[in-house]
């Protein structure tokens, strides 16, 4: 069964997404947006360590290897972890728009169980933009990049300013991020006018 709720249908005045001229070239690894990110960071022992690459247009591909820490049922990936992989892949589209945006809505279809040890091959693209609203979709396949679909999602991301994080984040992590030149460089790669 699949379907899309009305919150994920672009309005009539939505436009096609535009790849930012300074977006990473197709094939280029995007790297982590934050080392402590559970989705893409290298500093989270049980994190997904998802590795995304720029695609053509406003699209990305990514890979995530399911490890024992990611189980729900015995030997199978937890659905929330798979949703995280989709969310993170969709979030990495920000690099191509050079926009900071957070997930407002994420609708996920779980089509096939995903065993521990599986590589999940993900792809995602922005489908439309309407003001601050960014509409996107993602697919996760198993067995290879052309293998059967295991999960898919449609999402609405909402553009925010850096203030979203500095106002709502816990002060100790925000201070550490602001003291980290690599982190500031990454934020600038997302936002044209930091
Ligand atoms: C140096 C300092 C360190 C900085 C470090 C920064 C580096 C970070 C870089 C990159 C980050 C990328 C992170 C990727 C990680 C993966 C992605 C995630 O998991 S993100 C986490 C989960 N998401 C949230 O925590 C959002 C929580 N929600 C909110 O904060 C608000 O609700 C927010 C910002 C999403 C919207 O709030 P409003 O007050 O700004 O805007 P309103 O007016 O409510 O919504 C705008 C439009 O969107 C629609 N909208 C909003 N939420 C919707 C929903 N759930 N469904 C349908 N429409 C929705 C509304 O109807 C409105 O539409 P109409 O303009 O009137 O047409």
Q: Which pLDDT value is given to residue 190?
A: 81
pTM: 0.96
Averaged over successive runs of 10 residues, the pLDDT of the chain (194 residues) comes to 79 97 96 96 97 98 98 98 98 96 98 98 98 98 98 98 96 95 87 56
CA 133–ligand 1 middle distance (angstroms): 9
Domain ranges of the chain: 14-190
CA 143–ligand 1 middle distance (angstroms): 33
For the CA of 184, the closest atom of ligand 1 is 1
**Is 166 near ligand 1, meaning CB less than 6 Å away?**
yes
CB 183 within 8 A of CB 194: no
Here the ipTM equals 0.97
C-alpha–C-alpha distance, residues 128 and 136, integer Å: 7
Q: Which pLDDT value is given to residue 69?
A: 98
For the CA of 8, the closest atom of ligand 1 is 57
CA 130–ligand 1 middle distance (angstroms): 14
Radius of gyration (C-alpha) of the chain in whole angstroms: 16
**Is 102 near ligand 1, meaning CB less than 6 Å away?**
yes
Q: Which pLDDT value is given to residue 192?
A: 59
Interacting residues of 29 by C-beta distance below 8 A, sequence separation 6+ = 51, 52, 53
CA distances (Å), 68 to each of 40, 71, 129, in order?
17, 6, 38
CA 75–ligand 1 middle distance (angstroms): 34
- Give CATH superfamily name and number for 14-190: Hotdog Thioesterase (3.10.129.10)
For the CA of 183, the closest atom of ligand 1 is 1
**Is 130 near ligand 1, meaning CB less than 6 Å away?**
no
């Amino acid at each position: 069964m699949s379907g899309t709720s009305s919150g994920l249908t672009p309005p009539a005045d939505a436009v096609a997404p535009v790849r930012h001229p300074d977006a990473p070239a197709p094939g280029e690894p995007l790297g982590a947006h934050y080392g402590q990110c559970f989705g893409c960071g290298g500093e989270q022992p049980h994190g997904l360590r998802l590795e995304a690459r720029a695609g053509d247009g406003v699209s990305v591909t990514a890979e995530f290897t399911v490890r024992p820490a990611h189980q729900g049922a015995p030997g199978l990936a937890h659905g929330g972890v798979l949703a995280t992989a989709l969310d993170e892949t969709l979030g990495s589209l920000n690099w191509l728009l050079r926009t900071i945006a957070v997930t407002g809505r994420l609708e996920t279809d779980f089509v096939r169980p995903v065993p521990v040890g599986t590589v999940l091959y993900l792809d995602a693209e922005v489908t439309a933009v309407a003001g601050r609203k960014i509409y996107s979709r993602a697919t996760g396949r198993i067995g290879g990049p052309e293998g059967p679909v295991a999960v898919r999602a449609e999402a609405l991301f909402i553009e925010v300013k850096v203030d979203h994080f500095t106002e709502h984040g816990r002060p100790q992590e925000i201070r550490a991020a602001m003291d980290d030149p690599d982190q500031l460089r990454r934020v600038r790669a997302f936002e044209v006018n930091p």
